[in-house]
Amino acid sequence: MDGLSEAPGILFRARHLVVGVAALMIVGLAACGSDNGGGGGAATSSVSVTEREWEVAPDPTSADAGEVTFSVSNEGTEIHEFVVVKTDLASGDLPTVEDGSVDEEGEGIEPVDEIEDIAAGSSQELKVDLESGHYVVLCNIVEKENGETEPHYAKGMRTDFTVN
């Protein structure tokens, strides 16, 4: 009977142990919860971008610092790309190479990320972590048509974008 008389005490201690472990897990999970800048929990900024010959049109033209999701739709008839660069230069003043495309490694340019080859009529997303500053979004494709070079950037597929 000695084993049975000790059983209620063992069960009591085991129950307290389980409750204690559960409480620690809850506190631990709360401490490891989402950390997105504090405050009220900053959400991802979403920017819709329409590309077509010869335009890149983000809406809105600014976002808060942090994760930004660009939803890019190619409403044109040609393949385009979507390039994000950080720079202090205006969108029309980026350094270019001989074919009229932007020198993405040129002075004053900090490449961030890009989506290549967005087919006409299709859409793609790009998620990037952006810090405050000035950016340019552009299409940097260069085509040869009828023996002529057609740099999309030089034809106007660029715009300034601000991150607050």
Burial 105-123 (b: 16+ CB within 10 A, else e): eeeebeebebbeebeeeeb
Domain 45-163 top-level CATH class: mainly beta
* pLDDT 10s digits, 15-50: 544 444 444 444 444 444 444 444 445 568 999 999
Domain assignments of the chain as residue spans, ordered by start: 1-31, 45-163
pLDDT of residue 31: 44
SS3 105: coil
Can you list the residues of the chain whose pLDDT is less than 50? Answer: 11-12, 14, 16-40
pLDDT of residue 2: 53
pLDDT of residue 33: 43
pLDDT of residue 102: 98
Residue 31 carries which DSSP code? H
pTM: 0.74
Residues contacting residue 96 through CB under 8 Å, at least 6 positions apart: 102, 103, 106, 151, 153, 154
pLDDT of residue 120: 98
pLDDT of residue 146: 86
Residues contacting residue 143 through CB under 8 Å, at least 6 positions apart: 78, 149, 150, 152
